[in-house]
Amino acid sequence: MLIKVFCALFGFLIIALLAMFVWGELRYGLQSSSEIREVTAVATLSEQLSDGLIEAQVYVLGDLAYRIEIQFSPDSTSNIPSTMPPEINLGMELVHMDGFDQPLKMVGNGEWQSQGKVPEAGMWILNVGYGDDFAEVHFAVE
């Protein structure tokens, strides 16, 4: 009789431990999938400028926040080095106000990133380029 009670208690202990591990894995899996939300680009730009190919992706992160990723591939005849950051300017589409420049952080050879918040929701224009040669893309921030 004592052996049956001991086996039953030991069996319940094993089942309880397994249930804790399974619950922990389910709970962790649900939390990680809700916390990690893949952000897709709301606007992309790819344009051949006179000195090379400029590409940009705009990501809207929520709460008026954004991230801009820029890649520049200079032509072999270009006098612009791949380490020189492009000029970028953000402005609202239907509002007459000057745009604002955003600081760029170099993240690789010919690759830059900028993050920030726009002052208000609406349609925005991103200009990216060098000197007088710019490419433009429109995107919405809600």
Cα separation of 70 and 88, whole Å? 10
Name, in order, each residue with C-beta under 8 angstroms of 105's C-beta and a sequence gap of 6 or more: 112, 113, 114
Q: Give the sheet arrangement for strand 133-141, strand by strand.
A: 100-101, 87-92, 122-130, 133-141
C-alpha span between 134 and 91 (Å, rounded): 14
- pLDDT string in tens for the chain (142-residue length): 778 777 777 777 788 766 676 666 666 655 544 444 578 999 999 999 999 999 999 999 989 999 999 999 999 999 999 899 999 988 888 876 666 667 899 999 999 999 999 888 999 999 999 999 999 999 999 8
- CATH fold, domain 43-141, is Immunoglobulin-like (2.60.40)
Report the chain's terminal Cα–Cα distance, integer Å: 70
